[in-house]
Chain A
């Protein structure tokens, strides 16, 4: 009996000890999660912000809206900073277009002078003064040679009327929106050029975010917000414009079945299932991502590929070969905030050909990048693997006042409540996930990803929106350009440690669209390594990368072959292309 009493006491002590140990373990694991993926060693590249040094002094200004939205104006008007890359004058040096979003504030076209500096030529070129009352304000832009004349044309998507600028040469652009049949009012935050029917003419897909009947400066109603935080379908309708030649477009949205109203923030195009036809991948705010598979250019089919049950706040659609499998994977940013919400970013590994679906590949540090916006996959250290550059932060304001609590009051409520902007608590001077640091995730292959931002020189806490990767100075490395909301743009010049090799391709379409948008290059190097990249007509969030495809090769000084899949269907193989140089490849006639 005595033994039994003592035994029970001991057992209680043991259970109590286990209980305390479990609490300690919670604290420990939380600490580890907080620090997961932090770099301990310095990677072989360094990024330095040289924006001012190279003459890029652009500061974004967000939109001012109808006073009826004053209670949440900083939230609603938190978009519009964008960056897109193109060689607008065909001089071999990539140029940058940056958007502003306030009436009277010009967009900028930074011409690369080839000497390490840039000059804003937007005014003279005719692409600066686009933010005007009655016309709307810019939210982003994508470059594409829609008329195959060898000059990159510019589509500016807005909260307002779309604007298409034809590149006339000599750094002069003409607004051809009306003649092209594109003068449509949309509240758009994303667009992509792609040739969905492979007729050699670039078509245009424009994502609607807010409904298109909303004029943000003359609101008829304040019932403009989402009707669900996770399953909203009351956003703007996306539209597909078919290029019918002679500078004209027709709206084929309904005929082809791509009129999603899911608050699409970002769209990217690529051939996910390997059938040769470009598909559409949508990152939707307040809802699940969507993949529209292209059925031979005749229609698109919203496909059940493992995205539909995972409802989040998709902000950015980034395509790239994350694990060197020769596949186009998709990375989608979402929202995370300590204590309130962990939506987690998605790395959608493409297993469509085998399994008919994507598999979630996000784990560890990749899942949480704060309130993440634009992201790009690119080989920043030329080691043959793609890094991830993620920008983030929503509204940086008073550091001691957060809107998260106020927002949580309505976030779980019935949709009718928060669909009306009037019912949202006033934000005042509070911020919302502001002052977040950008992430630079080093790809260590099977060992996962490590956040190296602070050790490679990325320490800014701006409200990043768009990010583009581009070899700005033609040095064989990828530099990074970031557009920040209401803040200066950043130009991170990349310095890569010597000893690695690279190769790049500039593709010129002939039977395909001249910009070669949608063309894929698969690189095979020693040891069976494969890398796949696609020429993008807009990717990430409000951004477009360098049209030239850049591959890091590590220490391998040799490429076995480069296989080019042109949008026309032509497959071209380059055997042993020399490394450490840019190859300009023109599509063969057959």
Chain B
């Protein structure tokens, strides 16, 4: 059996780059789902996946047809559904967080809009809302990943590859770079081990965050420079939350279970509004 020629590989690489970004991202999140479920039973029940996926797809189809006159591509809903199924870890016997989370995620795209664009990454919005509004029912994925280097490595490799092909590698790398730098700052401020501050980056929540949320092309600002600034701002906001956690600031306690996700939920829409506002004033198309 012969291996693919360099020319064929290059052609595949180019074709991948031209593909709608949702498809390689869908592939990556499916890979994570399959790996996580096969090795660690990460879902906690297929009913969760079915509910999240079903509600996301149904909401997308219904709202796009009802408000836009035609059925939308459900690839985005697919990514959102799987993200929710992976990240939401509610009380054992509850399915409603997946159903309501799925609906709110997709509906947010149609309701929370500015100048014709939605402002939040759908799963980021839904998870943030569930964490803040339903802390007695919902937690976020914290350690159901096996804490295993091999699984991490596979996801990081594919993640970086796909982020590169969909043109969002600069976002990922900016965020990761800022996170590491700010981890050092936190370590100096708190006096805790540096490794402890960097450690979250190797966790599953971050992998989903880095490759599916902060890089979402539909909810990032329009320029490369702007996206890098936003990624840095998210890391900075996250550090503020983390430092508040280190010093037990009671008022911010609801933010501590998922600092990056809530930081993005705060910074992301503000950045988008500013970007869209500036684009509107300069007549630039987004």
Roughly how many angstroms separate A89 CA and B234 CA in the complex, as a whole number?
A: 68
Contact A338 B100 (CB under 8 A): no
Contact A363 B93 (CB under 8 A): yes
Roughly how many angstroms separate A406 CA and B149 CA in the complex, as a whole number?
A: 22
Chain A residues within 8 Å of B200, by CB:
408-410, 412-413
The SS class assigned to the B binding surface is helix
Contact A26 B100 (CB under 8 A): yes
Known: A22-B104, A412-B202. A30 touches B147 (CB 8 A): no
Known: A228-B148, A412-B202, A423-B199. A33 touches B136 (CB 8 A): yes
Chain A 322-339 per-residue mask, 1 if CB under 8 angstroms from chain B, else 0: 000000000000001111
Contact B111 A231 (CB under 8 A): no
Contact A406 B245 (CB under 8 A): yes
Among the stretches A148-156, A396-404, A536-544, the one at the interface with B is: A396-404
A411 located at the interface, meaning its Cβ lies under 8 Å from any Cβ of chain B in the complex = yes
Chain A residues within 8 Å of B199, by CB:
409-410, 412-414, 417-418, 423
Chain B 130-150 per-residue mask, 1 if CB under 8 angstroms from chain A, else 0: 110111111101111111110
The contact sample of 8 A-B pairs, CB cut-off 8 A, is A26-B130, A26-B133, A29-B96, A342-B92, A344-B92, A405-B257, A417-B196, A425-B193
Roughly how many angstroms separate A368 CA and B139 CA in the complex, as a whole number?
A: 13
Within 8 A of A (CB), among B77-121: 89-94, 96-97, 100, 103-104, 107-108, 110-111
A230 located at the interface, meaning its Cβ lies under 8 Å from any Cβ of chain B in the complex = yes
Chain B residues within 8 Å of A409, by CB:
196-197, 199-200
Q: Which of B100, B131, B133 has the most CB of A within 10 A?
A: B133
Contact B143 A229 (CB under 8 A): yes
Roughly how many angstroms separate A31 CA and B135 CA in the complex, as a whole number?
A: 10
Contact B134 A30 (CB under 8 A): yes
Chain A residues within 8 Å of B133, by CB:
23, 26-27, 30
Cβ contact of A15, chosen from B67, B92, B94, B142, cutoff 8 A: B67
Contact A400 B100 (CB under 8 A): no
Q: Which of B63, B149, B245, B248 has the most CB of A within 10 A?
A: B248
B11 located at the interface, meaning its Cβ lies under 8 Å from any Cβ of chain A in the complex = no
Contact B148 A30 (CB under 8 A): no
Within 8 A of A (CB), among B15-33: none
Chain A residues within 8 Å of B144, by CB:
230, 311
Contact A342 B89 (CB under 8 A): yes
Cβ contact of B196, chosen from A30, A404, A423, cutoff 8 A: A423
Chain B residues within 8 Å of A353, by CB:
none
Contact A8 B67 (CB under 8 A): yes
Roughly how many angstroms separate A338 CA and B133 CA in the complex, as a whole number?
A: 12
The smallest beta-carbon distance between B235 and chain A, in angstroms, is 15
Chain A residues within 8 Å of B196, by CB:
409-410, 417, 423-425
Roughly how many angstroms separate A424 CA and B193 CA in the complex, as a whole number?
A: 8
The smallest beta-carbon distance between A370 and chain B, in angstroms, is 12
Query: Which residue of A is nearest B69, CB measured?
Result: A8
Query: Which residue of A is nearest B103, CB measured?
Result: A22
A422 located at the interface, meaning its Cβ lies under 8 Å from any Cβ of chain B in the complex = yes
The smallest beta-carbon distance between A433 and chain B, in angstroms, is 13
Contact A19 B137 (CB under 8 A): no
Chain A residues within 8 Å of B134, by CB:
26-27, 29-30, 33
Query: Which residue of A is nearest B205, CB measured?
Result: A412
A227 located at the interface, meaning its Cβ lies under 8 Å from any Cβ of chain B in the complex = yes
Within 8 A of A (CB), among B223-243: none
B129 located at the interface, meaning its Cβ lies under 8 Å from any Cβ of chain A in the complex = yes
Roughly how many angstroms separate A29 CA and B139 CA in the complex, as a whole number?
A: 15
A304 located at the interface, meaning its Cβ lies under 8 Å from any Cβ of chain B in the complex = no
Roughly how many angstroms separate A27 CA and B104 CA in the complex, as a whole number?
A: 13
Chain A residues within 8 Å of B203, by CB:
411-413
The smallest beta-carbon distance between A253 and chain B, in angstroms, is 27
Contact A364 B93 (CB under 8 A): yes
Contact B100 A426 (CB under 8 A): no
Contact A400 B147 (CB under 8 A): no
Chain A residues within 8 Å of B100, by CB:
22, 25-26, 29
